[in-house]
Structures are given as C-alpha cells and as structure tokens.
Amino acid sequence: MTLREYQRKRRFESTKEPKPDAAVPEGKRALFVVQLHHASRRHFDFRLQVGNVLKSWAVPKGPSYNPEVKRLAVEVEDHPVAYADFEGDIEEGYGKGHVDQFDLGVWSSAGDPLAQLEKGHLHFELFGKRLKGGWHLVRSGRKERQPSWFLIKADDAYASDVEADDLMDENMRASTRRAARSESTRAAARKSTARVRQPPAKRAAVRKTPLLTRAQKLPHARKASPSAAFFKPALAQLRDEPPAGDNWIHEVKWDGYRILATIAKGKVALWSRNALRWDEKIPDILQAVESLGLESAHLDGELIATDNQGRSDFNALQQTLAGEAQRPLVYVLFDLPYFEGYDLSRVTLVERKALLERMLGDGRRHLALSTHTRGDGAAAMERAVEHQLEGIISKRADSGYHAGRSGDWIKAKRLEGDEFAVVGYTPPKGSRSGFGSLLLARPDPQRRDGWIFAGRVGTGFSDRSLAETASLITAHPSRNAPSNLKNIDPLLRDARWISPTLVAEVYYRGIGNNHLLRQPSLKTLRMDKSPDDLRKPDRRVAKATPGPSPAIRHGTAKKVSGRAPAASAGNDTVTITHPDRVVYPSDNITKGEVAEYYRSIMKWLLPGVLDRPLSIIRCPEGAEKTCFFQKHPIQGLHRVGTVRLKEEKGSQAVYLFARDADSVLELVQFGTLEFHVWGATAARPDNADRIVFDLDPAPKVGWARVVAAARLLRGLLSRIGLQSFLRTTGGKGLHVVVPLNPGCPWAQVKDFSRAMASTMAAMHPQEFVDTASKAKRAGKIYVDYLRNSRGATSIANYSLRARKGAPVATPLRWEELSKIERGDAFTIHTLPRRLARLRKDPWEGIAAIGQSLDSAIAVLNKAP
C-alpha cells in the first residue's frame, strides 16, 4: 500500500488536504469514514483503514441499507489516515468541491482484509453513528478503467429501506443545495428537502416485561434506583486447584479485558476494571449492549477478540485495540447484579445467570453468555487443559455479588511448558544477587543458526539455583545483542547477552503480545541438553499441567499422571490424556478404548473421511451427557485441516477436514465420538460425488421391512444404471449410497434424490413417506433425501455412534444383508473382529466406479 498516487494527483501548496506523510494515530482502533463530496458529480467517498492507509471507493449514490440494492463503488487511490478528519473546501485542482464528513467509526472483519480484497470479496462490519451492521464489498466482473466493486448491505438486524440521502443532517443538505449545478445534483438537492431519518435501530430488543416479572420474584431482589456510576467488580482469588463440591459452578477463564457496563435511563456506559471509560474504544460493544433495549442494568463480563475461526485470541484483541488488526470483538457476559430497577446483588449466582441467559436469548452478535458446569472442579480443569484454555473460574452457586476478593470466586490457571535457550540476562536489582532474569530464545525455523527472542524468566529460582546459574552465565557477557537473534523486546533495558549454551525448562501461562511468554516461571535448567537439541525435529514440547504446585514453584519437576502412551499415527503421535475417563457409562468404555478402537481400524476409516469436510459429535462428558455437533475449528487443534467453504445459503464458514490419521486422533483427544462427512471433497466442494438415501424406520417398524426397502431402492437404481452400496447406520436404519464419478452439482443431486424418495412413497404409500413430519411417519419408513444438500453430512463408515452399546456404522456387501438382524449390529467390541476376518473392504473400488446422473437420466428419458 502506497500513497504515491494520492501525492501525484495533488498540489499541497493549494489544497488543505493532509499530506501523505501525516502521522497515523497510535493506539486507536482501525477506523472507517464516509465523506459526502460535492465534486463535479456529487458522490460519497467510502474509506476503510487498513494498516497505515485508507482504502477508498467512490460510491455515486451512497450506501443503502437495503440488502437487495447493489451500489456501484469505484476503487480510487489510497488516502492517508489523517484524511478521515478532513472537511471543508477543495478550492482547486483534483476533486475540487466541498467535503462533509457523513460518518466516522470503527470497523472489523473476521478475516484478513487484504486477502479478502485480493480475492474480490470483503465481508466486514461498521460501527458508526449512521452506518452499522454487516456489509460486503464485491468486485465487479466488468472491465472498467478503474476497478469497480459493489457495496452491499448484509441481510442482518439493521437491514431496512433507508438510503444515505435519508441520513444527511441539515448541514449536509445545505451543502447539497448550494452545490446544485448539474441536473443530477439538482435532483439530489430536491431530495435533500425530505425529512431527516434516523439510522435503523437494531431489531429484536429484549422483551422486558416477562423478564422484569421474573426478576421481581427472585428471592432477595430489592427495588433500587438505577445508577450510571462505575461499580466495583467481584474479583477472584488465585488457587492452585479448583474447589470441589456441587455448590461450585465452573466457567472458562476468558483471555481478554474485564469490562463492566452500566445502563441508566437507556444510556450505556462501558468501564474498565479500574474505572476508565471505554465507550469510544469499543463502539461495537456499546452498540451491541444498546441493542438489548434495556432501561437500566449492570453487566459484568470479559472483552475478547476472535480469530478467523471464531476462537478467542488475546494477541488479536491487543492488535485490534491498537489499530493493527480488525478482528471482531465479543463481550462475554457472566453476571447481572442489577436489572431494570432491581438490585440483584443478594440473589444467588445461578438465578442471576439464568436471568442473564434469558435476557440474551438465542444469541446476539458481539454478545455471548459465559456458560458453566456444576460440580467436579477437577474435571472442569482437566477439560480446560485438554482444550488449551487459560484456566477456569469457579464460583459459589449460591453466592451474591460482592466487590473485591471475597473468596466466592476462585481462579485456577493451567500451565504450559517448553524448553528455551538462554541467550542473556538482566542485572540484579535491590537485594537480589547474580542476575535479575534470564533472557530466553526459541529456534528460528527460517534460519539454521537463528534464534527468536521469547521473553525473560525471573521467578522459580531458589537461592542456591540463583547462585549456580549466575556462575554459569556471567563470565563473558556482551552489551551487543547477537546478530542472529530476532524480535528482541524493545522495552528491554541494560541486557547482557551471551552465546547460547544453556537450556532452561520453563512453565508459562500462554503467549502474549509480540509472541513473548506470559508469566513464565523456571522449572529447571536442563544440564543434560544443549541448545542444538532444541532444533531436532522429533523434539516434544513439555506437556501442560492442570495447575501450579509447590514443587513447580521450587524448580523441581512434577510428575503428570493420567496419560496413556502416545498412540502411533502416521509419522507423528497424538497423546490421549485421561484415558481412564469413562465415556460410555452403561458399557464402562473409556476414552482410551475409544482411541484404541480408532487407531486399530484407521486404515479402514481413512478412505471415507480423508479430505472431506467434517461435522463431528463431541461428548466431553461422555455419551450419556450433553453432546454437540461441531463443524468449525476450535482453539487447540493443530493437526486437523481447515478450509473456507460456501454454505447452501451463500454464507461462508471455515470447516474441519481430516488430513491424516493424526487429524482423526486429535479430534478423538478433544472428545469426538462420531465423524460425519460431506458428500464432496474439500478440493471440489461444488461437486457431489456421493448420494445418500437414509432409510429411517418409525418405531415398531420391523427390521425385515427395512431390509426389503433397501433391496427395492437398489433395484430402482439398478434399472437406471446406477450401482449402489450399503451401510448400517449404527442406529435403527440403513444407508444406500450411490457413488458419482464424475460428480454432479448439488442442485441436481438434491432434485434427483427427492424424486427417488417421492417415487418410492408413491409406489408404496403404506410403506414409505418422503416427509420428515412425525405425524405422517407413523408405521412407515422415512426415505430421507435431505443429506444431499450442500453442507449436509452423513455418518462415516466405521464411525462410532454416541449411543448405548457404542455401535458402529458399518459398510456391508449386499449379500450380507440377509444375515444382519439390526442397524446397530456391530459395536466397538465386535467390529474389529469382523475386520480381522475380511480380506478387503466391502466398499473397495467405490471411487473407481464411473457413473453419473446424466447417464441415469438419459436411461429414464428412453423408457417407454
């Protein structure tokens, strides 16, 4: 990005426009500005700050809040960030005319803005006084002298029929009337006599009446006057371990900034935990809280930023607040001490959170509820460790809301560990002798002998280890940093540098800004290792531990129990933590046994799941407790592939896919029991290469009827030249699967599968139904064709099901069907024995079968 073109077009001795070398404000959010420009033709200049410039487009008719309206946006030269404040007259030369500031605010995008612009589609949000909500910039396919785009409003809660001209104030309207020289401008001037409209308000505010009634009836709720003043937050005490007992609830410890919100007479104020106003820093959150439509409330929560996969990212939060990134921000709410005229500080926490959950409803963009589990703090901490979260906050379920550290809130943090080369030290201060802290570095993967500065560690030393370490490092120090060391902390003062000869093993609590260790503490010096050992490709990072212990603080190793041996998978290994945890309680099947099952059948499983977008069913607390479907990435996954895909309704999302055996086992480590796959590959998502018919019997429908249905469907498909394959679902029914090679567009596949289901229902109306309506399915078999839509999935071959008995979805030969007695005939225990007897997979060669819907439809057309 350069301002050379901006400079070339202007003579700064005769214009008031800012020069290209104007300073970029530091520590400010990335901004957007829209300026009403009365040049030779009136237009709106739409600008987004990306880095140190304003990417700019001229929008002749201005933005429209109607998602059906595409407004032409002609890309023009980048402008300096200082141009956002420019108003007044350009008296001569390029752009001559009057400029009004139409709107100014901040903006965000879930992905890299430059990468999106390069691809031709930028999806972003605006947080201004006039322009709000989601928007799209889409590159036009036209060949123009200047690149043309379309500015389009996203179809969200702010969408309306409001146009830019409707939102002008009287000053802008007066400018329009004064500049009325051409016919087009006179038309705009005539329109400017219309009344001023307000920006559309976000719909779906909180329905206060039932919530207020509920709040009034809560025990210990007290009538109290609303206050807009800062209130002191409840704080947590740090403990080594979370508390035990069912009177404690456990939440994620969010990695962000504490934010308190006060609402009085409908006006929202946002505060940091040290009573500083943050309204201007986070207008996106201000607007989100305003959208609740509350008259008075106090809210407590954490401000976080999400990455392009929807995960919390502290670095992204810092960069976004500093204007270095444009990540979406989310206010995660966990308490409601005051609500609509009632002081709830003496109401129990679980009742306050239940009211908060009802207030938020099904979810609001930029607002989220911090969910919790009750009891078993050790298990909650283990899950946080497994998912590489910072830790948990434990709270007394029956506690009120008390300012300060009352003991009702307890925090426990996880520790990570790794080994680093010692590249220097800082001088001691005060009564300390030897050195202040060790300076650490990790190997630079781009340079054979290079190092990357990782931070400093000054805690975890005993008097003895301090003296011994000092004797090893202080012999030949230098004031000059090594030339092969990158990313040195610019705030480092009086450092002494040494050649890397020592290795320090360090515990820390995550990676902070500039990729420096957060809260590091020395575990030990590894005298058995040299810095060269850190470059070995098979080196393993020290494992995370549930929390600190006195042994760790004194610099001695702590044994971590409860880990299974690493399961071999391809060229790498995945460690399965807590292998003894029971995940199928009725059958006493453990997480370790699930992992061993998938490892043992991996060569059979992989052909059906590799490189296909996945939806998984995760059961972190076991198959008989809450399980959930997931198709998007989560924090902590490193081996699983991701791909951004368009969904059936046109929106885009990042999906998981399995690259190899390690991907599968990593998902198992995260509590996955079931694997469901698209009928297409990640590389060719628009082409369906599988059609799946799910024969789903209603209760009391006998298995013999399901078998007959599968054979009937096979015959119908065979008559039009389509070979099909068979699978038990691990549930009540069967899947009949048709491979396509080459594949077909999703619309064609869906139409075909719907027609086949309708044909079966018409042929045998007493046997089959092609609608999901339960009222019509009684006593019949539902021929479910809906798995043949873009984004829909079906169970993968050899996947477990999260049901009692741990059944397995199993591919069959058609000749075996008469021997099978039920859809869940094979289980985690019996399936490996079946595979041991088989010489080849029943579906072997499915990918090589050449058949398409075009040929099948041609056969149908020839039929008499």
What is the tens place of the pLDDT at every residue in 454-498? 999 998 887 777 887 888 888 788 888 888 898 888 778 789 999
Amino acid at position 319, single letter = Q
Instruction: List the alpha helices (DSSP H) in 601-693.
Output: 602-609, 661-669
Q: Which two tokens stand for residue 332?
A: 């995660």
How are beta strands 582-584 and 572-574 bridged, if at all? unpaired
- Strand segments, DSSP code E, in 496-640 are 496-508, 521-525, 567-569, 572-574, 582-584, 589-590, 613-618, 628-630
Report d(CA 717, CA 215) in Å as an integer.
60
Report d(CA 396, CA 531) in Å as an integer.
47
Catalytic one among 253, 413, 750, 780? Answer: 253
Dihedral sign computed on CA atoms, order 105, 111, 112, 113: negative
Report d(CA 415, CA 393) in Å as an integer.
15
Q: What is the distance in angstroms between the CA of the first residue and the CA of the last residue of the chain? A: 66
> Is residue 502 within 8 Å of residue 472, measured between CB atoms?
yes
How are beta strands 734-745 and 409-413 bridged, if at all? unpaired
Task: Give the largest CA-CA distance in the chain.
Answer: 100
Close Cβ partners of 692 (under 8 Å, ≥ 6 residues apart): 679, 735, 736, 737, 738, 787, 788, 794
**Three-class secondary structure of residue 339 per DSSP:** strand
> Is residue 228 within 8 Å of residue 262, measured between CB atoms?
yes
Amino acid at position 306, single letter = T
Strand partners, 98: 38, 89
Has 9 been annotated as catalytic?
Answer: no
pLDDT on residue 195: 58
**Three-class secondary structure of residue 53 per DSSP:** strand
Residue 301: Cβ-neighbour burial (10 angstroms; 0-12, 13-18, 19+):
buried
pLDDT on residue 22: 77
pLDDT on residue 568: 36
For 217, 277, 415, 507, 736, the CA distances from 418, given in Å and listed in that order, are: 53, 39, 10, 7, 50
Report d(CA 500, CA 420) in Å as an integer.
10
**Mean pLDDT of the chain, nearest integer:** 86
Q: Which two tokens stand for residue 648?
A: 């059936």
> Is residue 838 within 8 Å of residue 601, measured between CB atoms?
no
> Is residue 122 within 8 Å of residue 110, measured between CB atoms?
no
Phi first, then psi: give them for residue 315, nearest 5 degrees: -60, -45
Phi first, then psi: give them for residue 545, nearest 5 degrees: -120, 155
Report d(CA 582, CA 669) in Å as an integer.
13
Q: Which helix (H) or strand (E) holds 469?
A: helix 463-473
| All domains in the chain, ordered by first residue | 4-191 (no CATH), 208-413 (3.30.470.30), 416-553 (2.40.50.140)
Q: Which residues of the chain have pLDDT under 70?
A: 1, 26, 180-196, 202-208, 307-311, 362-363, 388, 513, 528, 537-573, 635-636, 647-652, 862-864
Block residue for tokens 């146009």: 163
> Is residue 64 within 8 Å of residue 159, measured between CB atoms?
no
Q: Which helix (H) or strand (E) holds 134?
A: strand 132-139
Report long-range pairs for 86-91 (Cβ below 8 Å, ≥24 apart): 86/16, 86/17, 86/18, 86/35, 87/35, 88/16, 89/16, 90/15, 90/16, 90/17, 90/39, 91/14, 91/15, 91/16
Dihedral sign computed on CA atoms, order 745, 747, 753, 756: negative
Q: Which helix (H) or strand (E) holds 359?
A: helix 349-360
pLDDT on residue 86: 94
Amino acid at position 736, single letter = V
Tell me the Cα Rg of the chain: 32
For 257, 261, 854, the CA distances from 287, given in Å and listed in that order, are: 18, 12, 52
pLDDT on residue 196: 67
**Three-class secondary structure of residue 807 per DSSP:** strand
Q: Is the peptide bond before 742 cis (omega within 30 degrees of 0)?
A: yes
Report d(CA 229, CA 265) in Å as an integer.
12
Strand partners, 524: 505
**Three-class secondary structure of residue 511 per DSSP:** strand
Burial string for 688-708 (b: 16+ CB within 10 Å, else e) reads bbbbbbbbbbeeebebebbbb
Give the other-Cβ count within 10 Å of 15's Cβ. Answer: 18
DSSP string covering 668-703: HHTTEEEEEE-SS-SSSTTEEEEEEEEEEEPTT--H
